[in-house]
Chains A and B, each alone.
Chain A
């Protein structure tokens, strides 16, 4: 089994086998990341493809300051943000009115499957979805997100609050059953 260093060395020298090894090692994890940002599967594939080409191009600059997986994830997220940027321009993010707290008891995220959670995220408006991913899942701070997206911190906060409200609504009991019912109808 080749080590990360050996794989990186091979990739930098243009060895296609090494590139394939790197892809095999990280593609599943990174595909899951790109699925969270993309609206549909085809878009996620495009993000992953572009991101890996950037990875192979930029590996010679990788100094090993962080873990290789984390470095690749950053590239995937940036690629996804670039892909989303046009949509964000089309639907500019603005402050949303204060939302009422979601009433009633919601289920925990762990009560849902990965597929169900992804569906909930994908049903969010584009701006909300990106900010929710960056804040709740990737762990960026509001200020960092504002800088990344070129919006105010207030916009980030209000968009996140909206995303949180919408998700909590979806996480109330019955949403899952409703989704399953919708699936049956669609069939």
Chain B
């Protein structure tokens, strides 16, 4: 037993040494844990934010200017003036998501009680912004019109005041959560691809025969690859959590880092075994690469990070329960954002461990069949 552990340890070290000398690989791992977490987290968002808007002001009245001035960050960028004939062109070229069209005589018609309309042209191919953005715009415009009509008079207080308390993320800071989602994507990608490619390399070069004629069993070879690559990913994850998520993005991580690390190890057990399983199916690197795309992309995109699991079709919800990423995403959001203890996340941990064990057993069975 001790001998076996010693073998696994030494084989893993050999793996880490060969990793260290592949500079491009090292750079790519660092790049994915820093730039690929920071840049998209800071620059993109799933909700309506920073949306582009243009306006055609044919009224040129105090009211129309007030309405245009009221459209502000963070929901909308500064509105840009265009002419009526440009509307078609800017919509086709996807330059703006919204175009506001204030007809001439709007203010006068409004004061005369004619109930005129402001037209909003919406590029409905931008599905994420189209509906919600229109709602925001309507609210802004109507509020301006109402204050204008009532002058300086304050409206009567509404009978019921809704008091909204936003938990865990009071400013609706998008980058905080996005950075954790992206970190999850990177962990998934690396922990599947790295062990798979490491095993295929041995297979392709024929060195797996060297290993197999040695007094080693497939289990030892696999576990060595798995621990070495898990170690690389885990180090990257912790670095990314402190450097990218906490320091650069400034996300307030309340939860226990130790618990997060433990959960990540359980998750890595599942994903690295998925990688090993992949390596037993693929015959060479191009195959492994091709096979990993239809696995990594759906389990990353549908993990509940960008779209809540609850809003997916029922059958997809069931399928995604078998993906380790779903449980990991839930685990991360509970531990890192909501400061959950182990009592709140044990279900996720058990689920990930169970998925990992199934994959591990499957990989071991395939390993004997394909590598011998």
Genuine A/B complex: no
Seen from chain B, the residues whose Cβ lies within 8 Å of a Cβ on chain A are none
